[in-house]
Amino acid sequence: MIDYYYLVLIVPALLITLWAQMKVKSTFAQYDRVPNRQGFTAAMVARQILDSNGLQHIRIERVSGQLTDHYSPKEDVIRLSDSTYNSVSVGAIGVAAHEVGHAIQYDTGYFPIKLRSAIIPLSQIGSAAAIPLAILGLIMGFPLLVEVGIILFCAVVLFQLFTLPVELNASRRALRTLEEDRILEGEELTGARKVLTAAAMTYVAALIMAIANLLRLILLAQNRGRRR
């Protein structure tokens, strides 16, 4: 039964995840070859948007890797990857503006990001321990251990659920700013939108994977309960 649930639930979710990852990489690669007409680098755009929102205290740093861009609220720093920092492509500018969107979310007290931040510690525990605990409980016949694992994994699902609106909102903020400030126009803006839309699919895929894993644990527990 373990293999059956894995094939029915996890394999399709895994295929969706792989497709989303390939999609974001191919879309970024496509628009990473399209420079913006004004010659702005992604780091320049990030700095401009931060300053215009009164966030001069937030630093911008370079970090190694491709698409490893992120915002660290504890350190007040936006880290742009090698593939983004000095790039003048519309794809890189979209990514940089997206990360600035997260900084603005924290500054304005955007509620979903508060929810996500609050559940991070529990979701980290759940991500590391939930499935091993549940499987161990199933093997050893300890229903309580299975229930603890399922409850912990619910935190992982909630984290992914809260992450989705946070990421979508950051992209909307980015695109709106790029358009209103006339940083990108026309096809340039369309390219940035396609990159951020593809990136959003990775978060949708992560949520699907989390739900699939949770359902698998629940069905395994129910199946074991019927057999006892």
Average per-residue pLDDT for the chain:
95
- Which pLDDT does position 224 carry in this prediction? 74
pLDDT at 225 > cutoff 50: yes
pLDDT at 24 > cutoff 60: yes
Question: Total domain count for the chain?
Answer: 1
- Which phi-psi region, left, alpha or beta, contains residue 188 (left: φ > 0; alpha: ψ -120 to 50)? alpha
- Hey, what amino acid is at 169? N
Distances (CA, A) of 55 to 95, 137, 176: 18, 49, 18
What percent of the chain is predicted at pLDDT more than 90?
Answer: 89
User: Containing domain of residue 53, as a range?
Assistant: 2-227
pLDDT at 227 > cutoff 70: no
Mean pLDDT over residues 52-63, rounded? Answer: 97
Retrieve residue 133's tokens.
């605990």
Retrieve residue 149's tokens.
């694992």
Strand, helix or coil for residue 2: helix
pLDDT at 65 > cutoff 90: yes
E strand residue ranges, the chain: 59-63, 70-72, 77-81
pTM of the full structure: 0.91
Mean pLDDT over residues 185-191, rounded? Answer: 97
- Which pLDDT does position 1 carry in this prediction? 44
Q: pLDDT per residue over 71-117, tens digit each? A: 999 999 999 999 999 999 999 999 999 999 999 999 999 999 999 99
**147 flagged as catalytic:** no
pLDDT at 3 > cutoff 70: no
Question: Of 75, 99, 147, 188, which one is the catalytic site residue?
Answer: 99
- Which pLDDT does position 226 carry in this prediction? 64
pLDDT at 156 > cutoff 70: yes
